[in-house]
Amino acid sequence: MKDLSLHILDIAENSINAGASEIRIKIVEDTRENILSVEIGDNGKGMDKETIRKVYDPFFTTKECKRTGLGIPLLAQSAKECNGDLTIKTERGKGTTITACFQYDHIDRKPLGDIESSLIVLIVSHPQIDFIFEHRRNDSTYILNTAEIKKDLDEIPITSPEVIKFIKDDIKTWLINTNNMLK
């Protein structure tokens, strides 16, 4: 996978398969600590002991239609290649949180990529799920909560083109305005 936004899509897909009704995506870019971290948390069914034990194994999956489960091992490998790590916190019936961290300025660190498009894909394909997106760049933090947006929208669907364009532009504007904070 060539950038982190695609990893995020992939890891969030696990949360959807785990029956989550709420998915939290948190990105931290901290150039002073020289860390980039990506966290995906859900309130899905969690993992049992057997799954936790095997989840770093690229040939393990609980999906019946395919033989390899590469999502988590690939992200773990990307993190390790950049002096980082991947950690999993999970509890049966409560949910799972996966955190990957990277040395921010590591030469092999993948770019974040098109983060706003990944989010839009998730929101449009799963409008019933609440997404809480948080992105921090040093001292500036952006937060988007689709549960709140849906409440404000009343009967307009969150998937309507105007709403989607608004969300995408809002994220893009923040990203542009905070670019110089990363220097």
Joined tokens for residue 67: 């033989």
Site for Mg ion in 64-103 (CB under 5 A): 71
Task: Report the C-alpha gap between 138 and 151 in whole angstroms.
Answer: 30
Only one of the segments 11-19, 32-40, 79-87, 110-118 lies at the binding site for Mg ion (rule: CB under 5 A); that segment is 11-19
Query: DSSP assignment, residue 44?
Result: S
Contact 84, 100 (CB under 8 A): yes
State the minimum distance, in angstroms, from the CB of residue 156 to ligand ADP: 30
Closest CB to ligand ADP among 12 and 144?
Answer: 12
State the minimum distance, in angstroms, from the CB of residue 27 to Mg ion: 19
Site for ligand ADP in 34-93 (CB under 6 A): 42, 44-47, 51, 55, 61-63, 69-73
Supply φ then ψ for residue 17, to 5 degrees.
Answer: -65, -25
What residue is closest to Mg ion based on CB? 71
Site for ligand ADP in 151-180 (CB under 6 A): none
For residue 105, give the 3-state DSSP assignment. coil
Contact 48, 21 (CB under 8 A): no
Closest CB to ligand ADP among 86 and 167?
Answer: 86
Measure the CA angle with vertex 171, ends 2 and 120; round to 5°: 60
Where do the DSSP E strands lie in 7-146?
22-30, 35-42, 85-91, 95-103, 130-137, 140-145
For residue 92, give the 3-state DSSP assignment. coil
Site for ligand ADP in 93-122 (CB under 6 A): 96
User: Which of Mg ion, ligand ADP, none does residue 167 bind (CB under 5 to 8 Å by kind)?
Assistant: none
Closest CB to Mg ion among 14 and 90?
Answer: 14
Closest CB to Mg ion among 41 and 71?
Answer: 71
Joined tokens for residue 165: 């364009």
Residues of the shown chain interacting with ligand ADP in the complex, contacts defined by CB under 6 A = 14-15, 18, 42, 44-47, 51, 55, 61-63, 69-73, 96
- Positions in the binding site for Mg ion (CB under 5 A): 14, 71
